[in-house]
Structure 1
Amino acid sequence: MTNSSVQPDLRPLPLPPLARDPLVSILVANYNYARYLPDCLNSVLQQSYGNFEVLICDDGSTDDSLRVLAEFAASDHRIRFIAQPNGGMASALNRAYEQAKGQLIALIDADDTWHDSKLDRIVQAFQQNPAAGMVTHQLRAEDTDGRIVRRILPPRLDSGWLAPRCVNGECLRLPPCSALSVRSEVAKSIFPIPPIFRSSADRIVQERALLYSEVAAVPEVLAMYRVHGNNLTGLAGPLDSLSIQKTVAFLENVWKARAEFVCEIHGISLQPDRWRVAEGSEYQLALSLLAKDGKARPDVSLISDRKRRIAWSILTRLPDAIAIQGLRFWWRPNPVKRFTDSLSRLFS
């Protein structure tokens, strides 16, 4: 067993050859997204790659979701749905996964849509990268009126064997739920996702997949990510003390699940303390900044991500009122950030 102060020697697990035309099991967790479900499911049914099944768990919706799901299931035998009392995103994905028969598992949020070639490109990527247990791609973010919030999300993607960077507390460039697909061998270790993750369960899918095997990235926009009040934090940091405290509580659960998974899969014992420093310091800085109490702030040098470390070095040198405005500007989507993202893609 390895002590948490030592950098562990993690190695990807081998994967067997993938079938030529693998069945893709598409998992959908739905809660009160009746108005978005038709666009979501139609985008799946219009895929140019046709060997798939759609497994939907309705998580106690109180809107018209069950009627919409029943109509779609009656119109296409590849769609099956389950209804359960509200238990959260992880619980719903777990129930959907129980029905999965595919060699590949793909996730899509009930309010998102896929481009027609999405599954074709994903299957191709798995075939071309036999060591990859997860394939990711980029998305376009739109609001509920179809206005573009961000043309490419994230601007760049990380790939390869990312486990050492993850356990080092680095901030990895990975997309949200609707851009994640994994091999069934990896999915067996991912599921069941701890039900404590009532939201953002895709974070656990990301982490467990990259801690198991290599990641392949398709640098193309293959889906639309819908931005609205319920998921705005997917594009912005927490902007008040209560939200930051909730984010830190969520991260504590992520770190605990990460340590348990590394121990289970690799037989290496790690303590969450190593991530509280590397990944949690900026949130402690934000809390101290918003408190305006003049107390000493956490050491900026402890932040693992270079870009964040530079930003915080600047913020901590500014008067509190200006620094808070700077924090809100940094953690919110805005035209300047979109412009700089575009420039970075041009010169990368």
Structure 2
Amino acid sequence: MALPCETEARGLALGEARTHPNPSPGPTEAQILLTSILIPVFNEADHLADCLGSIRAMPDCEIEVILVDDHSTDATYQIACDIAAARGDLPITVLRNRGQGKAAALNLAYRHAKGDGFVLLAGDDLLVSEVLPARIAAVAGPQPTVALCRYRSFSDIPAHDGTLFPRPGREDHLAGGATSFNRAFAELYFPIPEELPNEDSWLRAIAILFCLPVTFIDRIGLHYRIHDRNSTGPSLDFALTNEGLARRHAAFSLALERFDGATAAGRDRLATLVQAEARRSAGDWLGVLRLKHLPAGDRSIFLANSTPWLFWIKGQLLQILNRRNRRSRSAGRNVTPR
């Protein structure tokens, strides 16, 4: 079991420079030999034990956990170290960053990961370990490959409890905790630009830019916690949502700037999303509506978050949909595969 807690903390405190190791070759067979679960955390003392407890060793799926505490001010770091020391079934490496944000924490985790396959997990969410082998099998191979499973919200806020994602037609909208990918994709994906607030849009930007298909796994592989400290999600008002989307959607233009060797089709599609974000953030919903070549799923997202009144309508429709889903489950009619 690896537990470089104090060593890593001292190295970072001294400003130790870390370089990316030589890329590891991907598996040559249709098999992932080791899966790295990367967990960035900040002030997750209330939830971390549940998160790590949801990760269980599965037959034919070797796992390592690389957890980075981003300079929490609560007991998160000590809890992580204690759990790592107590777990005999799972190697957990606990690292510490200097409060540089989620993207920087993930970049640090990746530099220490040895896996052929990767899963990202937030410290307040719950992994469905039984689905992990299917998620990893879907990305086996030497070419860059990415997959998305279903995920369901859970919350003490009734309006946000039990929502099933992704929405129909958005099965290629990659979400960090529901995404799995192989080493070849990781070499494109990392390092994540550290000015980005999270990983989701950068995942999708890379997949689009290189015209990579997203394998959809029609099983719930993650339970996504919604609470009042979420940096994104349905509990935020329009102003905060608008600001957050502008920061996340910056991933599209950053990807265009970083990569010169991407396909022309991928660059064109990503450029369309850059235009859509410019119009959305300006409140130009008609401009979004008129934008050619914008996929229907993207158009609905950009439109619904372009003005306060469209944002309000979206909220009302989501509440109706969530109530309908809860009634269906309570009546035993929910047949969504798990």
Alignment TM-score > 0.5, same fold: yes
Matches within 5 A, 1:126-275: 126-127=139-140, 133-144=145-156, 149-156=161-168, 173-197=172-196, 199-212=197-210, 213-231=212-230, 233-235=232-234, 239-240=238-239, 243-251=241-249, 253-266=250-263, 274-275=272-273
Q: Give, as a single letter, the amino acid of the residue that structure 1 aligns with 2:40.
A: A
Pairs aligned (count): 299
- Note closer, same or farther for the CA distance 1:261–1:113 as it changes in structure 2 (3 Å cut): same
Unaligned runs of 5+ in 1: 1-14, 160-172, 289-296, 317-322
Query: Aligned partners of 2:45 and 2:115: how far apart in 1?
Result: 26
What SS class does the counterpart of residue 257 from structure 2 fall into? helix
Matches within 5 A, 1:73-152: 73-76=84-87, 78-127=91-140, 133-144=145-156, 149-152=161-164
Q: Give, as a single letter, the amino acid of the residue that structure 1 aligns with 2:75.
A: D
Q: Give, as a single letter, the amino acid of the residue that structure 2 aligns with 1:58.
A: D
Contact in 1 for aligned 2:143/2:185 (Cα 8 Å): no
Query: Aligned partners of 2:123 and 2:56: how far apart in 1?
Result: 14
Query: Aligned partners of 2:304 and 2:93: how far apart in 1?
Result: 52
Identity of aligned residues (%): 21
Query: Aligned partners of 2:179 and 2:301: how far apart in 1?
Result: 29
Contact in 1 for aligned 2:280/2:288 (Cα 8 Å): no
Contact in 2 for aligned 1:29/1:89 (Cα 8 Å): yes
Across the aligned residues of Structure 1 and Structure 2, the Cα RMSD in angstroms comes to 3.8
- Note closer, same or farther for the CA distance 1:16–1:65 as it changes in structure 2 (3 Å cut): closer
Q: Give, as a single letter, the amino acid of the residue that structure 2 aligns with 1:119.
A: L
Contact in 2 for aligned 1:57/1:84 (Cα 8 Å): yes
Query: Aligned partners of 2:213 and 2:303: how far apart in 1?
Result: 33
TM-superposition CA deviations, 1:226-246 (whole Å, max 9, x none) = 011232633478613x65245
- Note closer, same or farther for the CA distance 1:332–1:185 as it changes in structure 2 (3 Å cut): farther
- Note closer, same or farther for the CA distance 1:267–1:33 as it changes in structure 2 (3 Å cut): same
- TM score, norm. by length of structure 1: 0.72
| Cα shift at 1:149 | 2.1
1:45 to 49, 56, 71: 56
Query: Aligned partners of 2:188 and 2:305: how far apart in 1?
Result: 41
Contact in 2 for aligned 1:136/1:180 (Cα 8 Å): yes
Matches within 5 A, 1:274-293: 274-285=272-283
Contact in 2 for aligned 1:182/1:209 (Cα 8 Å): no
- Note closer, same or farther for the CA distance 1:37–1:300 as it changes in structure 2 (3 Å cut): same
What SS class does the counterpart of residue 228 from structure 1 fall into? coil
Q: More deviation in 180-189 or 48-57?
A: 48-57
What's the counterpart of residue 66 of structure 1?
A: 77
Structure with bigger RCO (C-alpha 8 Å, 6+ apart): 1
Query: Aligned partners of 1:147 and 1:313: how far apart in 2?
Result: 22
Q: Give, as a single letter, the amino acid of the residue that structure 2 aligns with 1:234.
A: G
Query: Aligned partners of 1:231 and 1:140: how far apart in 2?
Result: 15
